[in-house]
DNA sequence: GTCTATACCCGGATAGAC
DNA sequence: GTCTATCCGGGTATAGAC
């Protein structure tokens, strides 16, 4: 537990500092660009110094996202194990536009096979899908499980439209990493389910 | 109709050529980076020459996406007016990873308020939501309308997990442009509907 | 092992010649 | 309207000081 070894713990103190600075930089940046130089200034170093610890800008940003995931898990639990935690994380994300922007940026860039975050995102989605599917399955079989969380958002056409558009965009992200996904088929099924729900509440 | 005037038609011949070249470049690029120079080479010009017509790289890419939308509408009809068209477009997109990557890239970048594509994406989503909501509402009220399209994808936990993750990512994109959206509430409602559907088919 | 200095390259932007 | 030339910002690689 003390003075951890291995490639990921080598420079843990400084790495930690840099990650914090990067996190802060992105949080403050709203949705503007952040350069390695910017981050370096915050820790009182040069860009080369920062890169020394991470190898490249992209690797650094990947590490930021990993740190963000770890922090979220520490605070709320794993979304893959607990749906409630997932919603809490989303709620929390809504207070940090800069980091959401970072996530979206890197997720897009990670479609490149040789991007440092490529494997990270592949795993993230694979794990997320596995965990979520398991939870959904368990809850669906368990009559004790809540039928649905408090419906803050009404199930209405506007909501369904947002969801349909969101699912379209999000599936593209997953599909770029995992081309086996049949986007149109998945969306058609979603359309069917949404329609059914709309009719039910009408 | 002939020799159109105005700021958007000035150099229409060359602009058209450049847009075609950019489209082709992105289609071929898979999901790799494409520079203005690359596009310029394709039309036998220098980067400065290309930039002359669009002002900036970002503006050029925005124009490419607009052209892509226009082409899709011409081929399939508007997704905002016809759900079937939307699915056709998605199916077609699945054959052009480069353009999907471009879309995702620019969509992420367009979160910046001063990005040239900012207004374009705001409108795109607003129009999409309006059109989709209207269609969903109409279909939900019309007993003649298909209950659901052919269910190629089974409504099962794996599918629901993909959708939930996709909706989460996609909502972030919409939320960056339209912070009024309550992501967690929308997702909670989606969870409820998905769960209901899973129980039904069980 | 950590960092600075430096130099390099790529890519986008801009000014001015043609 | 297009090119050449130039600039600049930003990421990266390397040498070497500490």
Contact B135, B82 (CB under 8 A): yes
Residue B97 sits in a domain of what CATH number? 1.10.357.10
Element spanning B85, H or E: helix B83-93
For residue range A20-64, list pLDDT tens digits in order: 999 999 999 988 899 999 999 999 999 999 999 999 999 999 999
A159 and A80 share one domain: no
Q: In this predicted structure, what is the pLDDT of residue B15?
A: 94
The verdict on residue B187 lying in a domain is yes
- Name the pLDDT band for A11 (thresholds 50, 70, 90): low
Residue B76 has pLDDT above 90, yes or no: yes
The verdict on residue B109 lying in a domain is yes
How far is A119 from A58, CA to CA, in rounded Å? Answer: 13
Q: In this predicted structure, what is the pLDDT of residue A10?
A: 53
A128 and A156 share one domain: no
The verdict on residue B161 lying in a domain is yes
The verdict on residue B5 lying in a domain is no
- For chain B, what is the domain count? 2
The verdict on residue A36 lying in a domain is yes
Residue B5 has pLDDT above 50, yes or no: no
How far is A74 from A132, CA to CA, in rounded Å? Answer: 18
Q: Which of A31, A159, A188 sits opposite B186 (nearest CB)?
A: A159
A28 and A68 share one domain: yes
A20 and A83 share one domain: yes
Q: What is the DSSP letter of A116?
A: T
Q: Which of B124, B148, B172 is the last residue of a domain?
A: B148
A98 and A197 share one domain: no
Does residue A39 approach strand D to less than 7 Å at its CB?
no
B60 and B126 share one domain: yes
Does residue B35 approach strand C to less than 7 Å at its CB?
yes
How far is A48 from A18, CA to CA, in rounded Å? Answer: 13
Angle (nearest 5°) at CA B169 between A72 and A198:
115
Mean pLDDT of B57-82: 97
Q: In this predicted structure, what is the pLDDT of residue B149?
A: 65
Contact A65, A115 (CB under 8 A): no
B84 and B166 share one domain: no
How far is B131 from A164, CA to CA, in rounded Å? Answer: 12
Distances (CA, A) of A191 to A94, A125, A202, B121, B201: 27, 22, 16, 23, 16
The verdict on residue B1 lying in a domain is no
Burial code (b: 16+ CB inside 10 Å, e: under 16) for B166-176 equals bbbbbbbbbbb
Q: In this predicted structure, what is the pLDDT of residue A4?
A: 46
B154 and B71 share one domain: no
Query: Which contacts (CB < 8 Å, 24+ apart) does range A180-183 have?
Result: A181/B162, A182/B152, A182/B153, A183/B90, A183/B91, A183/B93, A183/B94
Q: Which of A148, A167, A184 is the last residue of a domain?
A: A148
For residue range A129-151, list pLDDT tens digits in order: 999 999 999 999 997 877 666 77
The verdict on residue A4 lying in a domain is no
What SS3 state is found at A15? helix
B198 and B100 share one domain: no
The residue among B128, B130, B189 with the most chain A CBs within 10 A of its CB, best to mutate, is B189
Does residue A130 approach strand C to less than 7 Å at its CB?
no
Within 65-104 of chain A, which residues have Cβ less than 7 Å from strand C?
none
| Closest among A18, A31, A19 to A98, alpha carbons compared | A31
| Closest among B20, B22, B17 to B98, alpha carbons compared | B22
Does residue B124 approach strand C to less than 7 Å at its CB?
no
Q: What is the DSSP letter of A77?
A: -
| Closest among A8, A164, A67 to B190, alpha carbons compared | A164
Mean pLDDT of A166-177: 98
What contacts A74, CB < 8 A, 6 or more positions away?
none
Q: Which residue has the tokens 């939930």?
A: B164
Percentage of the residues of chain A whose pLDDT score is greater than 70 = 93
Q: Which of B131, B193, B195 sits opposite A194 (nearest CB)?
A: B193
Q: In this predicted structure, what is the pLDDT of residue A30?
A: 86
The verdict on residue A34 lying in a domain is yes
A92 and A157 share one domain: no
Q: Which of B132, B148, B164 is the last residue of a domain?
A: B148
Pairwise CB contact (< 8 Å): A132 & B160? yes
B50 and B142 share one domain: yes
Q: How far is the CA of B116 from the C1' of D3 (A)?
A: 26
B56 and B133 share one domain: yes
Residue A195 has pLDDT above 70, yes or no: yes
- Which range marks the domain in which residue A171 is found? 150-202
Q: How far is the CA of B48 from the C1' of D5 (A)?
A: 11
């Amino acid at each position: 537990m003390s003075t951890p070894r291995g490639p990921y713990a080598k420079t843990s103190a400084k790495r930690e500092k840099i990650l914090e600075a990067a996190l802060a930089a992105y949080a403050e940046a709203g949705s503007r660009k952040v350069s390695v130089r910017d981050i370096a200034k915050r820790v009182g170093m040069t860009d080369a110094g920062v890169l020394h610890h991470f190898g490249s800008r992209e690797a650094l940003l990947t590490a930021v996202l990993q740190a963000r995931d770890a922090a979220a898990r520490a605070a709320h639990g794993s979304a893959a194990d607990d749906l409630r935690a997932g919603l809490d994380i989303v709620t929390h994300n809504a207070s940090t536009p800069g980091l959401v922007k970072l996530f979206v940026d890197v997720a897009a860039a990670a479609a490149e096979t040789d991007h440092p975050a490529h494997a990270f995102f592949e795993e993230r989605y694979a794990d997320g899908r596995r965990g979520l599917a398991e939870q959904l399955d368990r809850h669906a079989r368990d009559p004790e499980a809540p039928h649905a969380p408090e419906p803050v958002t009404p199930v209405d056409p506007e909501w369904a439209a947002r969801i349909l558009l969101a699912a379209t965009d999000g599936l593209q992200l997953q599909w770029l990493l995992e081309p086996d996904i049949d986007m149109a088929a998945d969306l058609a099924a979603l359309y069917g389910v949404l329609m059914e729900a709309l009719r039910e509440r009408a």
